[in-house]
């Protein structure tokens, strides 16, 4: 049991669970738009997410990322290097337009983690901006780039789905913001710091509702998409209700971050038992 727990912790700490959540949202986009995903793009994002998140978490300075003293972090480093190598392999099969989008989002990610000028702050440290940067990157990677990869026009439906995904990620980050309330520097001005615990949860519940209502602004919405997002609304409300200041170790890092994976699996079940999404 001890070794299983250590393995599970390593799965979370090495950002594999986060990468799976991003992968699941790409799959959701494919289901809603009726497209066969580009496997090279999906795997590039999956393995690239592991590298990027581990870099942000453990080594925004290159020397800290390469020269690690902890054996545990060295194992995470090995996973990151292996993931990076696999990501590079799939990167050779990505089109130029997708690469341009990836480059823009990578630049935003770098600005999020690393100050570009001496004595300058990164976007992560700017008050209240952190979650919006993360939500924007996730929306771009899981909605806009899959559409470009499949040569779909970035039309009204893609834009609405991108906005919905942006709101979804904001809502999913609220339990993390509340969990970190006792650790975060006051200069970060996170939502719980600015608006309080209860008001932040209310904002999350309202955000979940806005995420669902955005579906009605799409053209020719399929019944199963409406049902799928209705289920997601209920999942988000339950998540917000269950969020507490004193959380269990795995509430946010596993259960909340696993919601996109659960959503994807539920959509697959609905797709098999009902009419296809269109």
Place of tokens 């789905």: 161
pLDDT at 157: 94
Mean pLDDT of 225-247: 94
pLDDT at 113: 59
Higher per-residue confidence, 61 vs 252? 252
In the chain, the percentage of residues whose pLDDT exceeds 70 is 87
Task: Give the separation between CA 249 and CA 42, rounded to whole angstroms.
Answer: 29
Place of tokens 């070794």: 3
How deeply is 132 buried, as exposed, middle or buried, from its count of CB atoms within 10 A (0-12, 13-18, 19+)?
middle
Note the pLDDT tens digit of each residue in 237-252.
999 999 998 889 899 9
Which residues, including other chains, have CB under 8 Å from residue 60's CB and lie 6 or more apart? Answer: 113, 114, 122
Specify the DSSP element, H or E, that contains 85.
helix 71-91
Which residues, including other chains, have CB under 8 Å from residue 25's CB and lie 6 or more apart? Answer: 138, 142, 143, 165, 260, 264
* Domains in the chain: boundaries: 2-273
Note the pLDDT tens digit of each residue in 63-116.
555 566 678 888 888 999 999 999 999 999 998 888 888 888 888 777 665 655
Mean pLDDT of 217-237: 92
Task: Give the separation between CA 72 and CA 78, rounded to whole angstroms.
Answer: 10
3-state secondary structure of 141: helix
- What number of other Cβ atoms are within 10 A of residue 260's Cβ? 27
CA dihedral 68, 70, 73, 77 (to 10 degrees): 40
- What distances in angstroms separate CA 85 from CA 27, 43, 51, 186, 262, one per listed residue? 23, 12, 10, 38, 28
pLDDT at 22: 97
pLDDT at 57: 80
Contact criterion met (CB below 8 Å) for 42 and 23: yes
Note the pLDDT tens digit of each residue in 14-27.
999 999 999 999 99
Phi, psi of 264 (to 5 degrees): -60, -45
pLDDT at 95: 87
Which of the given ranges, 118-122, 149-153, 227-231, 271-275, has the highest pLDDT on average? 227-231
- What distances in angstroms separate CA 169 from CA 24, 56, 85, 130, 276, one per listed residue? 13, 18, 28, 12, 26
pLDDT at 62: 46
Q: What angle do CA 218, 221, 225 make, to 5 degrees?
A: 110
212 is written with which tokens?
């669902």
pLDDT at 117: 46
Residue 188 has pLDDT above 60, yes or no: yes
Note the pLDDT tens digit of each residue in 105-144.
888 777 665 655 455 455 555 556 778 888 999 999 999 9
pTM of the model: 0.90
pLDDT at 46: 97
């Amino acid at each position: 049991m001890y070794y299983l727990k250590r393995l599970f912790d390593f799965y979370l700490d090495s950002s594999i669970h986060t990468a799976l959540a991003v992968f699941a949202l790409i799959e959701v986009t494919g289901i809603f738009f009726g497209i066969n995903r580009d496997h090279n793009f999906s795997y590039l994002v999956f393995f690239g997410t592991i590298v990027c998140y581990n870099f942000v978490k453990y080594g925004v300075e290159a020397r800290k990322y390469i020269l690690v003293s902890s054996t545990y972090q060295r194992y995470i480093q090995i996973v990151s290097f292996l993931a990076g190598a696999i990501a590079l392999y799939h990167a050779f099969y990505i089109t130029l337009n997708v690469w341009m989008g990836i480059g823009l989002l990578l630049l935003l990610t770098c600005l999020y983690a690393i100050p570009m000028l001496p004595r300058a702050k990164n976007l992560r440290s700017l008050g209240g901006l952190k979650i919006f940067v993360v939500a924007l990157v996730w929306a771009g990677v899981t909605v806009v780039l899959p559409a470009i990869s499949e040569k779909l026009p970035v039309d009204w439906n893609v834009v609405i789905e991108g906005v919905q995904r942006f709101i979804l990620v904001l809502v999913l980050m609220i339990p993390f913001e509340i969990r970190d309330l006792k650790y975060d520097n006051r200069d970060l001005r996170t939502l719980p710091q600015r608006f309080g615990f209860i008001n932040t949860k209310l904002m999350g519940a309202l955000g979940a509702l806005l995420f669902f209502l955005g579906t009605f602004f799409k053209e020719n919405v399929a019944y199963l998409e409406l049902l799928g997002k209705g289920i997601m609304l209920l999942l988000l409300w339950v998540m917000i209700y269950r969020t507490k200041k004193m959380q269990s170790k795995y509430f946010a890092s596993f259960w909340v971050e696993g919601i996109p994976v659960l959503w994807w699996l539920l959509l697959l079940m609905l797709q098999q038992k009902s009419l296809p999404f269109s």
